[in-house]
Amino acid sequence: MTLAAATELAAATNENLANISNTLIYSSMAVYTLAFFAYIAEWLLGSRSKVGRTAAALTPVKTAKAGKAAAPAVTVKKGGSTAVLERPKVVVRAAAGQRDVPDGPGAHGGDAQGDLYGRIAISLTVLAFLVEFGGVLTRALSVERAPWGNMYEFNITFSTVAVGVYLSLLALKKNVRWLGLFLITTVLLDLGLAVTVLYTASDQLVPALHSYWLYIHVSTAIFCGAVFYVGAVSTLLYLFKDSYENKLANGGTPGRFANSVLDRLPASASLDKFSYRVNAAVFPLWTFTIIAGAIWAGDAWGRYWGWDPKETWSFITWVAYACYLHARATAGWKGRKAAYLALIAFGCWLFNYYGVNIFVSGKHSYAGV
């Protein structure tokens, strides 16, 4: 085989792979859509059950306050005199100033059929994730590099990682099933945006991107974004759930929709804790992403920090998340105010990704968009 024929063959394979990648991405969108409907079915069927746990936990607050002086509730075991205790049981008290509301049962609301649809939805999500992952992989193979050269590739990788994070948390038996519908909705939006507005058939990678730092810096940036996103969804739901609980605690009656949906979510305290953990866990990695970027910039552009718009906005994002973490330790800023800061911080991240690429030109705009 001559050299020309070989390169031609290679080109044909690449084009084939790129086509396969596109098909896989579209297929994953179809499966995500099915999963989306299954999640909807789960929520709809779940609305049949009228649990009202939150209301039950919050309404008798006043009597409980008057009756017992804030003592931990313990079940007294009237053991027979010969019973031998295997292990002492630890009694846990809610932290100061927190309402003690049980976590909601999840989208299916305890309804068996709803639960079935929920499980179907998760299975479909797993399938769609695998298909999408295949799409990202074939894209990478077709361009013979990491698939992070433009916003289309960035978007498809981002949603894959976000779903991956969700599924991993599920696999670790964390209470995150309630995230499903919210996550898949945005994944569909993200992919829709990717295939319509941001699609780039093939893209030239400037030599500045020929560095192993691409793998380190961009992959951590994508991962951080996916985790921040999960944290932001949970923060948003925390705000809703918190005002719902406040309303109930103050003797108000929330609307039917709020009652049906919010009651099935975890307690506001759990949501708050979850979003804090998620954001705090990934914050050091975000710090690392920025520093890795700075080191790379030092090698590629001759300075490690030059207030390029992307650098500036990643710095702003960093400071905003730092604000959030500090707010949670500052009197008068805990709870809702801190949650607003977390949302602002995620807004900064989002702007850093979309806004800076689209509206501002800087050294990071080699993405075709």
Partner 1 sequence: MSETKTGTPDTTSAAADEDLGAAGSQLSTAPAEDTPNLPSLGVIGWTRWFWRQLTSMRVALLLLLLLSLGAIPGSLIPQTGIDETKVAEFRKAHETLAPIYDKLGLFHVYSSVWFSAIYILLFVSLIGCIVPRTWQFVGQLRGRPPGAPKRLTRLPAYTTWRTDAEPEQVREAALALLKKRRFRAHLAGDAVAAEKGYLREVGNLAFHIALVVMLIAFAWGQLFKSEGNKLIVEGDGFSNTLTQYDDFKSGSLFTQDDLDPFSFNLKNFVGSYEPSGPNRGTPRVYKADITYSVGSSDQEKKTTIEVNEPLEIGGSKVYLVSHGYAPVVTIRDGQGKIVYKDAVPLLPLDGNVTSTGAIKVMDGYRNAKGEREQLGFQAFFLPSYGGAGTAVVSQFPALLNPVLNLEAYHGDLGVDAGIPQSVYQLDKKNLKGFKDAKGAQVRENLKPGETMKLPNGAGSITFEKEIKEWAGFQVARQPGSGWALAGSLAAIFGLAASLFIQRRRVWVRATTGGDGVTVVEMAGLGRSESAKVPEELGDLAGILYEQAPGAPDPDDDPAESEASPDPQVAPAEGADTK
Where in 24-53 is the site for partner 1 (CB under 8 A)?
Answer: none
Residues 329-358 touching partner 1, rule: CB under 8 A, are 329-333, 348, 356
Distance, in Å, from the CA atom of 106 to the CA atom of 76, rounded to the nearest integer, reads: 30
Residue in 187, 144, 160, 161 with CA at minimum distance from that of residue 285: 161
Which of 86, 171, 173, 250 is close enough to bind partner 1 by CB under 8 A?
Answer: 86
CB 352 within 8 A of CB 235: no
Nearest approach, Cβ of residue 110 and partner 1 (Å): 15
Give me the least distance between CB of 83 and partner 1, in Å please.
Answer: 6
CA-closest candidate to residue 340, choices 320, 313, 319, 312: 320
Residues 253-292 that bind partner 1 (CB under 8 A): 273, 276-277, 280-281, 283-284, 287-288, 291
List binders of partner 1 among 141-180 (CB under 8 A): 142-144
For residues 16 and 159, what is the distance between their CA atoms, to the nearest angstrom? 23
Q: Does 92 bind partner 1 (CB under 8 A)?
A: yes
What's the token pair of residue 190? 């993200």
Among 20, 141, 216, 294, binds partner 1 (CB under 8 A): 294
Nearer to partner 1, 48 or 65 (CB): 65
CB 275 within 8 A of CB 328: no
Find the binding residues for partner 1 in span 7-26 (CB under 8 A): 7-8, 10-11, 14-15, 18
> CA 55, CA 123: separation in Å to the nearest integer?
32
Report the residue from 1, 5, 70, 171 that binds partner 1 according to the rule CB under 8 A: 70
For 49, the token pair is 């059950």
- Burial readout 171-189 (b: 16 or more C-beta within 10 A, e: otherwise): eeeeebbbbbbbbbeebbe
- CA 32 – CA 331 distance, rounded (Å): 43
Stretch near partner 1 under the rule CB under 8 A, chosen from 126-134, 181-189, 222-230, 296-304: 296-304
- Taking residue 244's Cβ as centre, other Cβ atoms within 10 Å add up to 24
The distance of closest approach from Cβ of residue 308 to partner 1 in the complex, given in angstroms and rounded to an integer, is: 7
Site for partner 1 contains 89 (CB under 8 A): yes
Residues 187-216 within binding reach of partner 1 (CB under 8 A) = 201-208, 210-211, 213
Q: Of 5-13, 130-138, 176-184, 230-238, which segment contacts partner 1 by CB under 8 A?
A: 5-13
Cβ nearer to partner 1, comparing 1 with 71: 71
